[in-house]
Amino acid sequence: MKQLLRFLALAAVLVLSSCGGKKESANLKPITPVKFSDVVIQDGFWTPRLDSHKDVTLAVCIDQIENQTGRIRNFENAAKGEGKHSGIFFDDSDVYKALEGMAYSLQNHPDPVLEAKCDEWIDKFAAAQQEDGYINTFYTLTGLENRWDNMDKHEMYCAGHMIEAGVAYYNVTGKRKLLDVCIRMADHMMTVFGPDKRHWVPGHEEIELALVKLYETTGEKKYLDFAEWLLDQRGHGYGSFGKSGKKWNPIYYQDDKPVREMSEIAGHAVRAMYLYCGMSDVAAYTGDQGYIDALNRLWDDVVLRNMYITGGIGQSKHNEGFTEDYDLPNLEAYCETCASVGMVLWNWRMNQFTGDSKYADVMERSLYNGALAGISLKGDKFFYVNPLESLGNHHRQAWYGCACCPSQICRFLPSIGNYIYGVSKEGLWVNLYMGNTANVKVGRKAVTLTQETNYPWEGAVALKVGLKGSLQTQIRLRIPAWCKNYTLSVNKEPVQPIVEKGYAVVDRKWTDGDVVELNFDMPVEVVAADPRVKEDVGKRAVQRGPLVYCIEEADNTEDFDGLRIAENATFDAAFEREKLGGIVGLTAHVGDRVLTYIPYYAWDNREPGKMKVWVPLKEE
């Protein structure tokens, strides 16, 4: 029903926007994602990671928040109205993100003890809220008279993460105590800011996409309108540090031009990703062609000129973001884990209103490489920075003073079921390949999908359809951009499908027990970078399927710095069950030398040592 209401709301808004003069209605094809709560993952690759999240990662995050740092005590002190604030001014957001991860975990792994912990935290949040709806422990404990002065103090950023957590917990449990706290905070903000009120440019984007989630949950269009108003505040000179007197850098904050005029990514990478997510969400409801055109230009700039082979973005430590096109250093690469997660979230959204597989291709690349590298195989340590080369001194940590990345991974991993399927009026869309059982509504018909695969190690995928009676509809299966050859069959009968925007379209009358089989060829590829990437001239990377590989000193102990790859190197690929949690390892034969490659996501899980993704070419 919620999905149907969203479609109806979208259709109504598109009609209205075509008459308003301010916006030109877009001819969108709305694709509604199948929520993770309707997908049970049973997969050889992902299930162990979800189990370690449940058993290890959540415990690490809870311990850090409750015992090792002052994050939860800040809420306790704020409720009492006394005591000091400890940590960074935006530390509330880490608690909210961890709670969101706990909520997602409860959906697929009900746990009364964990749910009780969530309720305990939510009680502390509610107690810390001011009578006017405002909630932020930093200002409550350092002086409420200073709130809403400095646009870079992350008040709306923290509120946004609270809203995302409140929506998630409400959707999973039906409990609305935190949702009501969120509504009061949103309403408070709207009494201060908006048309005919104060201007405001959130220094760290996040509130925009969260407000759209609040709109979807409550049906209150004022939250969608407020999200759009905040987006449209950018680029008009309103950005300010308030009474501090410090000069605002509009490029760093994506505030140098109105959002509809943006064409080049700049500034802080994570902030940019959240901005583009918010623009995508608003555009999906308003059909604002100015937003959509800008997003298309920005996507080209990010993916074609500023993205690493791992799907990571943000080259520079200096601004946690961008420098200039094709400047992609390896050893100094920043590639914040949060930014890779942001690439998944943004490309997921772009796919939903375009039906173009190129967005799902980037989503998959960032998921399996840039984002997944952000957490150790045991689930207990985290990368903030993800370089493509290491001298042996870069390692995951149990926590960070700025802990946005651990809490980001905590909420992201258990939500991966969101990104597998979509539904539109045309039928069912399959974006990712992993073992699962999903309950889907296609039109008015309930359909059960059972996907079996050993992806990403093997290219064979079987999709079984379960339903009562029959259903005439399409199943659209993404053919990954890395795949050059594949075969497709239905009930063992070969099919030559029409391919539209990267999706193999199978249109037929489906009956119970029908099985679609896809087989992707997965050869090892030796890849050259764009020649304008000076750092990688004379070097090559290796990938197989969706995975980028690297060499690590743990496997290549002899003359690591002298190792070379060849364009015509021959490779052996073999599954190694006991190595790094089970991987397909690659062995490259280059003359009389042998190079051992492992998936990039798995590096730095053994003894310290050097690592490279881009390896110099052997001179002929």
> What's the confidence (pLDDT) of residue 605?
97
> What's the confidence (pLDDT) of residue 38?
93
Mean pLDDT of all residues in 554-574: 95
Question: What amino acid occupies position 300?
Answer: D
- Indicate if the pLDDT at residue 462 is higher than 70: yes
Fold of the CATH domain 422-520:
Immunoglobulin-like (2.60.40)
> What's the confidence (pLDDT) of residue 188?
98
Nearest to 528 by CA among 516, 518, 540, 537: 540
Spatial distance between the Cα atoms of 192 and 149, rounded to a whole number of angstroms: 12
pLDDT tens column, 513-553: 999 999 999 999 999 999 999 999 999 999 999 999 999 99
- Indicate if the pLDDT at residue 108 is higher than 90: no
What is the bridge-based pairing of β-strands 427-430 and 470-478? Answer: parallel
Whether the model pTM is above 0.85 = yes
Instruction: From residue 160, give the alpha-carbon distance in Å to each of 122, 185, 278, 499.
Output: 16, 10, 11, 39
pLDDT tens column, 169-219: 999 999 999 999 999 999 999 999 999 999 999 999 999 999 999 999 999
Nearest to 392 by CA among 554, 536, 549: 554
pLDDT tens column, 585-608: 999 999 889 999 999 999 999 999
- Indicate if the pLDDT at residue 432 is higher than 70: yes
- What band does 12 get if pLDDT is binned at 50, 70 and 90? very low
- Indicate if the pLDDT at residue 1 is higher than 80: no
- Indicate if the pLDDT at residue 8 is higher than 60: no
> What's the confidence (pLDDT) of residue 402?
86
Mean pLDDT of all residues in 106-114: 93
- What band does 261 get if pLDDT is binned at 50, 70 and 90? very high
Q: Is 493 a catalytic residue?
A: no
pLDDT tens column, 300-321: 999 999 999 999 999 999 999 9
Nearest to 128 by CA among 167, 72, 86: 72
DSSP 167-209: HHHHHHH---HHHHHHHHHHHHHHHHBSTTSB----SS--HHH
pLDDT tens column, 45-59: 999 999 999 999 999
Structural domain spans, the chain: 69-252, 422-520, 524-616
> What's the confidence (pLDDT) of residue 20?
31
Q: Which two tokens stand for residue 466?
A: 């379960």
pLDDT tens column, 472-498: 999 999 999 999 999 999 999 999 999
- Indicate if the pLDDT at residue 615 is higher than 60: yes
> What's the confidence (pLDDT) of residue 28?
53
> What's the confidence (pLDDT) of residue 30?
82
Residue 540 is classified by DSSP as E
Among 118, 404, 483, 550, the one annotated catalytic: 404
Secondary structure of 436-474 in the HEC alphabet? EEEEEEECCEEEEEEEEECCCCCCEEEEEEECCCEEEEE
Mean pLDDT of all residues in 148-176: 97
Mean pLDDT of all residues in 221-227: 97
Instruction: From residue 240, give the alpha-carbon distance in Å to each of 268, 320, 487.
Output: 17, 20, 56
Contact, 293 vs 350, CB < 8 A?
Answer: no
Among 115, 155, 320, 389, the one annotated catalytic: 320
Please report where in the chains the tokens 């980001």 appear, as a residue: 408
> What's the confidence (pLDDT) of residue 357?
97
pLDDT tens column, 357-370: 999 999 999 999 99
DSSP 554-574: TT--SSGGG--B-TT-EEEEE
Q: Is 404 a catalytic residue?
A: yes
- The backbone torsions φ and ψ at residue 596, rounded to the nearest 5 degrees and listed phi first, read -105, 120
> What's the confidence (pLDDT) of residue 220?
97
Torsion angle of C-alpha atoms 358, 361, 363, 368, degrees rounded to 10 = -170
